[in-house]
Structure formats: C-alpha cells, structure tokens
Amino acid sequence: MAKIKSLEELKKIKEQAQQSVSLRVKGDNIENLVQVRVAMATCGIAAGARETMNEFIKVLNEEHMDNVVVTQTGCMGYCYAEPTIELTMPGKEPVVYGNVDKNKVHEIVEKAIKGGEMLDGIIPVTHNTVE
C-alpha cells in the first residue's frame, strides 16, 4: 500500500473501493432500483442463463448503470422460452421476457431499462414471485 498524500489520492482509492461495496449498498436499497432477475433453474442454465446474467452485469458495468441490480431466481416455469428474465422497474409491475440471449440483453438495457419501452418477447405473467 502506498501512502495517501492528498485528498485527491484518498478520493481515488475511495472510487476503487466503492465498486467492491456497491453490490451491498444496492442490496440495502433494492426496492428503489431496477431489478433484473434471471431464472436460474437447470433448464435455464442449460439454455445459457449464466451467460445471459454475465452479459447483463458486463453491459451494466460498462454503462455505469448503478441503478440496476442483477439477481437470480429459481424456475419461473417457462421452460420453452429459456433463458427468461424478470424486469422490475421501481414501483411498477414486473415484466417477464423470454429467450433472452446476448443480443436481447443489449436491447433490454438500451430500450426497456434506459428508454422504459415495452419490447417484443414479453411472456404473459402467470406466476407470482415468491418473496
């Protein structure tokens, strides 16, 4: 560890360190954030849910979108449309998207999260998330 000799250097370390705790800060404030929940059952994982989740995290980090938190959930029951994700904008009803591959991830981030649009691929919700 090098010595911190000024306020600027302290701020620099703070910014780096903030990334490591930001996930926890988000967890503390989850109801005010955009939530992306990736269905992570066996069929989902087989269909590429893990890659989908990683892509979300990568894109959101690149875009510095601190208002979005990615978590995972169990089987949502839409095995024909895996990988599926559930998108919840703060204060709104959750929306489920099916067949979310890497390209779809970019579309969801750009249009649905940033633009607030509804996209193709919405699955009519027949389940309730179990808290």
Partner 1 sequence: MAEYKFHILVCGGTGCLSSNSHEIADGLKDAIKAAGMEEEVKVLQTGCFGFCEKGPIVKVLPDNTFYTQVKPEDVNEIVSEHIVKGRKVNRLLYVDPENEKHISDAKHMDFYKKQMRIALRNCGFIDPENIDEYIGRDGYQALAKCLTEMTPEQVIEEVKKSGLRGRGGAGFPTGLKWQFAHGYQADQKYVVCNADEGDPGAFMDRSILEGDPNSIIEAMAICGYAIGASQGRVYIRAEYPLAIQRLEIAIAQAREYGLLGDNILGTDFSFDIQLCFGAGAFVCGEETALIHSMEGQRGEPTIKPPFPAENGFWNKPTNVNNVETFANIPVIFLKGADWFSSIGTEKSKGTKVFALAGKINNVGLIEVPMGTTLREVIYDIGGGIKNGKKFKAVQTGGPSGGCLTEKDLDTPIDFDNLVAKGSMMGSGGMIVMDEDDCMPSVARFYMEFIEEESCGKCTPCRIGTKRLSELLKDITGGKGTMEHIAELKRVSQVIRDTALCGLGQTAPNPVLSTLAHFEDEYIAHVKDHTCPAGKCTALLKFKINPEACKGCTLCARKCPVGAISGEVRKPHTIDQAKCIKCGACMDNCKFGAITKN
- Is 7 an interacting residue with respect to partner 1 (CB under 8 A)? yes
SS3 101: coil
SS3 13: helix
Do 111 and 119 meet the contact criterion of CB atoms below 8 Å apart?
A: yes
103 binds partner 1 (CB under 8 A): no
Choose the binding region for partner 1 from 3-11, 88-96, 98-106, 116-124 (rule: CB under 8 A).
3-11
Taking Cα atoms as reference points, which of 65, 120, 59, 126 lies closest to residue 94?
Answer: 126
Candidate residues 48, 66, 72, 94; the one interacting with partner 1 per rule CB under 8 A: 72
Structure tokens at 82: 């895996």
Q: Is 46 in the site for partner 1 (CB under 8 A)?
A: no
One residue of 32, 46, 67, 74 binding partner 1 per CB under 8 A: 74
For residue 33, the one-letter residue type is: L
Q: Is 19 in the site for partner 1 (CB under 8 A)?
A: yes
Residue 28 CB: number of other CB atoms within 10 A?
8
Closest distance of CB 103 from partner 1, Å = 20
Q: Applying CB under 8 A, does 38 fall inside the site for partner 1?
A: yes
Q: Which is nearer to partner 1, 74 or 115 (CB)?
A: 74
Backbone angles phi, psi at 68, to 5 degrees: -120, 140
